[in-house]
Structure formats: structure tokens, C-alpha cells
Amino acid sequence: MPYQAILEQIHAEIAPTLPQGRMPDYIPQLASVEPTRFGMAVCDTDGHFAAVGDAEERFSIQSISKVFTLTLAMQREGEALWRRVGREPSGTAFNSLVQLEFEHGIPRNPFINAGALVVTDMVISHQGDAKAALRDFARRLCGDDDVDYDYTVAESEAAKGHRNAAVAHFLKSFGNLDNHPDAVLDAYFHHCALSMSCAELARTFMYLARYGRNADGPIVTPSQAKYINSLMLTCGTYDAVGDFAYRVGLPAKSGVGGGIVAVMPGQFSVCVWAPGLNASGNSLAGTLALERFATLSGHSIF
């Protein structure tokens, strides 16, 4: 598959759309990124790698980290995880409180903030230091030992995190957090603030393209890899998940830092970064780029 030529064609095609995205403005570190940045990288199961643009530039992975947190929780918790969090699309904003009240403190899925807070709570109970656990997991899977948190972003997330704090305390009031909300929030804000590049994220997500196996061994079972990919397909791109599945046809997880990672099981993992967002909070040019990638490569799960 001529991935390099495909990425270069996509880069040229989507360049005019880069300034059309809206920059996230809730913390200055995300608002100040140059909106015309663009990177894309793909790894395949035969060991090929292709990249274009700013694919080696690190950015704030934000909610993409929720896939790593879920993976860590699933490794220890297995099916018991689903007693505390659902696996249905929410149909509400990722930081909504309303649904949680009606549904008695059981978040709809692990990729909305409430669900990620519950899953983070599990990782703290299992491993103690959930910040080190997630950072070390990302380091191991991408093979880069200097992957780290952007501590300024983590501090800003905490300073502006009143809604997340409300969600965490709400969960605690329903008995769905074992640890103190402050500890859960601290780990969650750091997880969102992990800095990685497209190249690193494409490598890291290869365990989901290889039915749960990384190059150095099993990360999750083949069934668990299927579960995670299914959740990305149905819940991974916020409230635009139906439109995203229609256009791209691949399991994917986005973050408000403008990154999106998509997986074709058995074939490849692809990551795109373009910081301007659409109205749903997904990268505007990144969504277009993945739509073109699925079309030009001829690969989607459908």
C-alpha cells in the first residue's frame, strides 16, 4: 500500500481547510497552538511506517488518553468494569452532568468525562500511582522513554476544571468512586495533558490493530481489543460519532487538542493532528483527512 503517497495527497488536499477550524479556548496552552499545523502518520501490521507534515511534533493528546486508561483498567478489572460504567453512546456533551443524575451515577461510557473518571478511579485502586501507570504504558507502547505530561497543561486543566470537579463529586455521592475525588481529578487532568506526536500515537495504538498484541507481547486479550475498538466506533468521537462512522468507517478516538487516532484491525493504525476543531469538538481537518485516508486506501471496517 503506497501510504506515503496517500498521506502527501491528503496533506495537499486538506491544507486550505486548516484555518477553518475553531481553536479550543478553555485553556491558553491549547488556544495558542498555530491553527495551520498538520501531521499524519500510519503504521501497518507488516511494519511499514509513513508520515507527513508535523507528524513528529508533540501535542496535547487530551481525550485520546481515555483509551489508555480504559486499557489499563480492563487489564485488571475485566468484565467487572461494566458494573460501574456503561457502553452506550451518550448523545450528550462529553462533560454533561444531567444524564448522570437520571442514571444514578453510572456514566454511559468510558469515553465521556464521567466514565473516564470512574475508570481512572479503578486504575488508582489497582496501581496506586495512575499518573505513572499511564505515562509508562504510553512509553512502553510507543518505544519512547521521554514521553511525558505537559505539567503546565495539567495545572491549567485543574484551574479550569470546575465542571470535572462537579462530575467527580457527583460520582462520589453515588458511591461510584472508591478514591477521593481530588486524587481522581489529579490523575485525570494529567492523563489529558500527556504530550505525544502522531508518529508515537500511531505506534502506540498498534496493539488494537494487532488484536491486542504489541510487538513485545499481549497487552489485552483479542476479545478485549474488540471491545475497545467497538467502543471507539460507537463512543470515540463525542456527539458526532454517527457522522464520523458514516464518513470514515473506522474505530477512532479524538481529543480537543486536535488529535484523532483510528484503527483498522488486522491492517493499520493512523493518527492525524490538526488543532482547529469542528462544532462537535473533533479536529475539522483531521476528520476530513481520515475520511480521505479511508477512501484512498480502500480500507474501512465496512
Residues that bind ligand DON (CB under 6 A): 62-63, 94-95, 113, 157, 164, 192, 255-256
Residue 258 to residue 195: CA distance in whole angstroms: 12
Nearer to ligand DON, 195 or 267 (CB): 195
Pairing of strands 148-149, 59-60: unpaired
Cβ-based neighbours of 32, under 8 Å, separated by 6 or more: none
Order across the sheet with 39-44: list the strands. Answer: 49-53, 39-44, 268-273, 259-264, 252-254
Nearer to ligand DON, 4 or 280 (CB): 280
Nearer to ligand DON, 17 or 95 (CB): 95
Residue 153 to residue 163: CA distance in whole angstroms: 17
Nearer to ligand DON, 52 or 72 (CB): 72
Locate 151 and state its grid cell: 505539567
Tell the smallest beta-carbon distance from residue 62 to ligand DON (Å): 3
Tell the smallest beta-carbon distance from residue 66 to ligand DON (Å): 7
Cα radius of gyration rounded to whole Å, the chain:
18
Nearer to ligand DON, 189 or 211 (CB): 189
Tell the smallest beta-carbon distance from residue 253 to ligand DON (Å): 9
Nearer to ligand DON, 164 or 267 (CB): 164
User: Exposure of 238 by Cβ count < 10 A (0-12 exposed, 13-18 middle, 19+ buried)?
Assistant: buried
Tell the smallest beta-carbon distance from residue 16 to ligand DON (Å): 25
Tell the smallest beta-carbon distance from residue 256 to ligand DON (Å): 4
> Among the residues of the chain, which ranges form H helices?
3-14, 28-31, 65-77, 98-102, 113-127, 130-142, 151-159, 162-173, 181-192, 198-204, 206-209, 222-235, 241-247, 284-297
Residue 16 to residue 279: CA distance in whole angstroms: 18
Order across the sheet with 59-60: list the strands. Answer: 59-60, 194-196, 148-149
Tell the smallest beta-carbon distance from residue 181 to ligand DON (Å): 14
Tell the smallest beta-carbon distance from residue 241 to ligand DON (Å): 12
Residue 12 to residue 293: CA distance in whole angstroms: 13
Nearer to ligand DON, 212 or 286 (CB): 286
